[in-house]
Structure 1
């Protein structure tokens, strides 16, 4: 197997996530009022062949500031198209936004105040506390936080002990060498 980088990845995080809507005004209202993001850029995108971009010319492509120098974007597709199934391979199952603990409860209350049905918050084990709801496009969203007294970073918070990781990897791979290989690539929590 090829060696995986052991130090920091070359990426810093998300530049932007790009989703599809067929109702841009409703999407704008939702993300600015419910999630309190700021609309920061509006444009049209001309179609060009062989770039993997949407198959429509002159689409609206609007960007929202989701915090920490990261953007959330929406292309406005024509109405009446089939909706994507988030529970099939290749679909995006959901987007989880991290919310600092001191802002978590207030943001959930704001979401509810906008008449959005919220499931949670629920404890998911470890540092995870989450609340779930849908945007007007049917995209499942999660607000995630921690209730740990010393939270640390997001990535570090999901580190596991070797025993926990081994137990799970053994359900995926029958070969002990393959399990050991993947364990050697993971940063593990030492107890």
Structure 2
């Protein structure tokens, strides 16, 4: 028994149409499906919603719920804004830089390029306040992943005991990367 893949990931949105149009324009995702109900199928609660689905590439689906009868969306006040995010992979650094330029040209504030060692990322927020990351592989990704794989259990064990960042993967940030 094993999971095949993610079927979809669902977030809440303020406005379904605005969200579809933003993801189409900014991230070139196709709008693939909409479902609207007055009753929640799993709980039978009366709670009208619009559930939209976007093609995130490679069989991945990003979904949103607009819930007009619920209080406005909020964030967990105890979790920093940078923690909860969704990350999408792009082919290479050239594509990452194209997206960065495209987003900025359309008024989206972009953070990065950030070098994470095995991959490089940019960060920004969608119109709902969800943090989004685009990531591309580092040219040395395979070697970096192999090195990370070799230390993952030791890192997890050390973290579990101390709740301080172990130094096993310091090699990731040992180099300076120019964006």
Matches for 1:1-191 after TM superposition, within 5 Å: 10-48=2-40, 51=42, 56-78=46-68, 80-85=71-76, 87-88=78-79, 93-101=84-92, 102-124=94-116, 126-149=117-140, 151-152=141-142, 157=145, 160=148, 162-163=150-151, 165-173=153-161
Instruction: Note if contact 2:12-2:64 (Cα within 8 Å) is conserved in structure 1.
Output: yes
Native 8 Å contact 1:19 1:73 kept in 2: yes
Offset at residue 98 of structure 1 (A): 0.9
What's the TM-score once normalised by structure 1's chain length? 0.70
Gaps of 5+ in 2: 163-179
So what's the TM-score if we normalise by structure 2? 0.74
Larger strand percent: 2
Check the 8 A contact 1:130/1:143 in 2, yes or no: yes
For 1:158 and 1:19, the matched residues in 2 are separated by: 33
Aligned pairs, number: 158
Query: Secondary structure of 2:63's match?
Result: strand
> What 5-or-longer segments of structure 1 have no aligned partner?
1-8, 175-191
Looking at structure 2, the residues matched to 129 and 112 of structure 1 have their Cα atoms a distance apart, in angstroms, of 18
What's the C-alpha RMSD, in Å, of the aligned pairs? 3.0
